[in-house]
Structure 1
Amino acid sequence: MPAPAQTTRRHFLQQCSAVGTALGFPTFIPGTALGKNGAVAPSNRTTLALIGCGGRGTDVVKNFLHDERVQVMAVCDVEKESDRYNKGIIKKAGTLGREPARRLVDKSYGTQSCAVHEDFREVLSRKDVDAVQIATPDHWHALMAVAAARAGKHIYCEKPLSLTVAQGRFMSDVVRQSKVVWQTGSQQRSDIHFRMACEYVRNGKIGKLKQIRVGLASDNRDNNGCAAQTAPTPVPEGLNYDFWLGPAPDAPFCPARLHSNWRWFFDYSGGNITDFGAHHFDIVQWALGKDESGPVEFFDLKATWPAPGSLYSTAPNFSFAYRYEDGTTVCVADKQDFGSGILFEGEEGSVLSMRGKLEIKPDALRKPLAENDVRLYESKDHFRNFIDGIQNGAKTAAPIEYAHRSITIAHLANIALRLNRAKLSWDPAKEQVLDDAEAAAMLTRPMRGPWQLV
């Protein structure tokens, strides 16, 4: 793997000084930025840029800001600055967008050196950036990830990986060919509760599997407090809305469309089936040893849809099942008696795994793994694991091919639900829908010009 193009100490200091001079104030550089007091010298740091400065993007970048081996060099977003809402009330003023992200980075380092961009292509052209964190809406992931990989940038990309099955396949192929380090934001792969659940299943600790149940939350929740603001309004100052839409179909701006509520638009995402489904289906794949494969059939498909005239287009309520070739069945619903999580039911007991909780029944099964039992890859910190991959060549916890296979499950379920199918058959080896031309056509979607994935 080629060595990352690290920024030099001199170049870093020159940047800090130049920015300070341009803004008309003296530049104070802390000792930690110079590699003193045990800190990592700039010449040995991985330089990173954030693309997508919404709530998730800024939350995740804090982990990289706290990693002494990383220097966040730049932030990028099509929105300059906006507020974060909760139930229609401003929760935090001026917290979303590229300017708040810049302030966050500069405050963390005690400098004024973070660069700001509106266009992600400017970030990818920077020679002083080794890696990017992509945290945009789903409909942008493929274009940005492919461009980043071809530019030789290592990539941490939020889930859901892709908007379509075809995009995911293309992304995985390009990343493999480009030989860059990839980490999907499926952080449950670095959670001890989920890893232990998968190890219990892999080692037959609950006996032969009878069924797996997955609980997801329902769709169309008002995440930004603006769901009622559906009337077209002028685009706010500081937002490049046409660039935000990018490859998605043209649509008039309204506040209900952005800031997390975009998840309920099929043009930009796939609802909670792709959102939290990306997490939980990924764990099911891990537990079954199917990281590079998938199920063969979807059935028991049920969904309710938004009322006519609603802007949102993903199913508020849903349930479905899918089956692997060996007969293992997974039942998914937005309402499970255990909430959001994964319940593995075996002939001798069960394992319930959810964030912050691992429940094994009966208690007699709660025993440490034996010396010869299967142990799965262990990552204790999803974000540091990514940097380990860049600096030390370590395997990452969530490779892109695994993410592609997991999100394919969500995409196929959405296709079958939207077409009101009683059943959908899938060949995971060839990645083809069987005997259903209409469903097969939905494995891809057109992109609005001039954006194309080639």
Structure 2
Amino acid sequence: MNGRAVITRRRFIKETAGIAAGAIAFPHFVASSALGKAGSVSASNRITLGFIGVGSHGIGMNLKTFLGNADAQAVAVCDVDSNHHDKARDIVNQKYGNNDCATYKDFRDVIARDDIDAVVISTPDHWHALMSVMAAKTGKDVLCEKPTLTVQEGRVLSDTIKRYGRIFQTASGIRASSVYHRMCELVRNGRIGKVHTIRVVLPGGPHRPGITTPMPMPKALDYDMWLGPAPWTPYTKDRLHYHWRWVSDYSGGQLTDWGAHHISIAQWGNNTDLTCPVEVEGKGVFCEGGLYNTAREYKIKYKYANGVNLIISSGTPGVQFEGDEGWIGDLGEPQGKLKANPSSVLDSVIGPDEIHLYTCPAGEQRNFLDCVKSREPCFYPEEVGHRVFTISHIGNISMLLGRKLRWDPDKEQFVNDELANRMLSRSMRSPWRL
């Protein structure tokens, strides 16, 4: 790390020690003049936000969505690529009609600010847990993109959020989808009888091996900070931006990336949000001779303690529940369309005394803002996300080892398998640590 990073870290520790000790559970009061053209909501009802990671997803899915909520105020944007944070800053300033949005390359400068209520993290996966934990310790609420990188990181993240009393939203809108919400309510209320099988299909990829040849680093990029806790390796453009998903140092591939969406629906419909399957056996196909080393194709079979089988495979995304009285799902259907057998299942009305699942049709960002105010849990909170990610992680481990594994969801360890258990955590490059 360079001299600036060392100074920033010292300043961060000094400034945030008092913040964590005195953190309060409600948004700050900020002068309404800071709202600029968006000043239609009283300062006492406005949540100040810092955005960490403002690439295409960070801007397109998160920043712009939050800017559409009058009770949210973006005050800072951070990215290791200055081209990204400059673009995000300009979007924010144009929205508010001022030049108040601050830019940073080091996320610690954002979470050290005591005028920020919550952070929105849209970085590669290898940063998610570390940033979320550090933000929570300074009294910040967190909306973080999914998933974590390892089972151990997810456990630390979930425990830290609870310990510091923070609000956390896993950044997936799938539980806000009327299609999946309806699907899961019908399943949970017994409309297809006793469930015996859940099928989840996720995209495949990567479809090329990736270039390993070192390249000159772009001047706008702080590559050392981009790597962060990941191992040092020479820069190549195929590592960064969208393509980091295919490198296991930063991600678990589509199984974790898309799995955070559709496996969440399997868990929701199966009423297993706070646990995981007890067996896993996976097979995968991987690219050879290049940079990318996450599974290109895969089929993984799991079994829950309640006897339900979960089958995850690569293909066109969707979910299907199968019971002893029928089935319901969207496999092979256009987005937003359900099918069932018998088809009459789709016309069934959920009665007032039946199970009604918690959602927010306006999406995960709106739900997060509401929960920051109410201090009620979000619809995709930290522990639920951790269990979903764990299913993906143990599937990846089974594929890599090439054998069936038994999983203890209470101890969060494989049963009698030392090698597999060593793969549940990873060391971080100095000076980073959870």
**1:371-421 CA deviation, whole Å, 9 max, x = no partner?**
322111121122111011111233311110000011000000001111111
Report the counterpart of residue 12 of structure 1 in structure 2: 34
Partner of residue 429, structure 1: 410
- What letter corresponds to residue 279 of structure 1 in structure 2? H
Query: Structure 1 residues 363-372 or 72-81, which shifts more?
Result: 363-372
Equivalent pair of 1:12/1:42 in contact (CA under 8 Å): no
Distance 1:360 1:372 in 2: 23
Aligned to 1:139: 126
Per the alignment, residue 26 of structure 1 pairs with none
Change (3 A) 1:262 1:8: same
* Secondary structure at 1:243 match in 2: helix
Q: Aligned equivalents of 2:43 and 2:217: distance in 1?
A: 40
Aligned residue in 2 for 1:346: 323
Aligned to 2:433: 452
Alpha-carbon separation, structure 1, partners of 2:207 and 2:44: 45
1:241 aligns with 2:217: no
Per the alignment, in what secondary structure is the counterpart of residue 316 of structure 1?
strand
Cα distance 1:368–1:420, how it changes in 2: closer, same or farther (>3 A)? same
Q: Report 1:192-203 matches (<5 A).
A: 192-203=178-189
Equivalence for 2:300: 320
- Alignment match, 2:234: 252
In 2, Cα distance between equivalents of 1:221 and 1:357: 28
Cα deviation, residue 310, structure 1: 0.8
SS, match of residue 338 in structure 2 = strand
Secondary structure, counterpart of 1:415 in structure 2:
helix
Query: Are 1:62 and 2:64 an aligned pair?
Result: yes
Deviations 1:139-160 (CA, angstroms, capped at 9, x unpaired): 0011100000000001000111
Distance 1:377 1:440 in 2: 34
- Aligned-partner SS, 2:260: helix
Number of residue equivalences? 406
Q: Is 2:113 the partner of 1:126? A: yes
State whether residues 203 and 374 of structure 1, in contact with CA within 8 Å, keep that contact through their aligned partners in structure 2.
yes
SS where residue 82 of structure 2 aligns?
A: coil
- Residue pair 1:291, 1:402 contacting (<8 A) in 2 also: yes
Amino acid at match of 2:409: P
Q: Which runs of 5+ in 2 are unaligned?
A: 1-22
Q: Is the 8 Å Cα contact of residues 188 and 355 (structure 2) preserved in structure 1?
A: yes
1:178 maps to 164
Specify which structure has the higher proportion of helix: 2
Q: What do residues 274-294 of structure 1 show as CA deviations (whole Å, max 9, x unaligned)?
A: 000111111111111111111
- How many angstroms does 1:135 deviate by? 0.6
Cα separation, 2, equivalents of 1:267 and 1:12: 41
Q: String of CA shifts for 1:247-266, please: whole Å, max 9, x gaps.
A: 00111101111111000000
Q: Which residue of 2 aligns with 1:86?
A: none
- Unpaired runs of 5+ residues, structure 1, are 14-28, 34-38, 82-96
* TM-score normalised by length of structure 1: 0.86
Query: Contact between 2:210 and 2:291, CA under 8 Å: does it hold in 1?
Result: no
Q: State whether residues 197 and 353 of structure 1, in contact with CA within 8 Å, keep that contact through their aligned partners in structure 2.
A: no
Q: Once the two structures are superposed, what CA deviation does each residue of 1:303-325 show, in whole Å capped at 9, x if it has no partner? A: 11111x21001011111110001
8 Å CA contact 1:5, 1:127 repeated in 2? no
- Amino acid of the structure 2 residue aligned with 1:186: S
Q: Percent identity?
A: 42
Which of the numbers 198, 208, 215 marks the counterpart of 2:194? 208
CA distance in 2, matches of 1:350, 1:315: 29
Distance 2:143 2:338 in 1: 27
- Aligned match of 2:76 in 66, 74, 77? 74
Amino acid at match of 2:26: P
SS at match of 2:258: helix
Q: Write the distance in 1 (CA, Å) between the matches of 2:388 and 2:32.
A: 43
- In 1, the alpha carbon distance for the partners of 2:85 and 2:384 equals 31
Letter in 2 for 1:323: K
Does structure 1 residue 2 correspond to structure 2 residue 24? yes
* SS across alignment from 1:210: strand
Q: Give 1:10 shift.
A: 6.0
Matched-pair contact (CA < 8 Å) for 1:207–1:347: yes
* TM-superposition CA deviations, 1:317-373 (whole Å, max 9, x none): 1111100012100111103xxx20101112222111475222223222221112322
Q: Distance in 1 between matches of 2:211 and 2:229?
A: 24
Deviation at 1:43, TM superposition (A): 4.0
Alignment-mate amino acid for residue 292 of structure 1: L
TM-score by length of 2: 0.90
Deviation at 1:42, TM superposition (A): 3.2
- Write the letter of the residue equivalent to 1:288: N
CA distance in 2, matches of 1:378, 1:139: 28
Whether the aligned pair in 1 keeps the contact of 2:59 and 2:88 (CA below 8 Å) is yes
User: How far does residue 429 in structure 1 lie from its aligned partner after superposition?
Assistant: 1.2
Q: Corresponding residue for 1:168?
A: 154
Distance, in Å, in 2 between the alignment partners of 1:428 and 1:396 is 23
Deviates more, 1:353-362 or 1:249-258: 353-362
Alpha-carbon contact 1:133-1:155 (below 8 Å) kept: yes
| Contact 1:230–1:255 (8 Å) recurs in 2 | no
Residue in 2 aligned with 1:284? 266
Give the stretch that moved more between structures: 105-114 or 228-237. 228-237
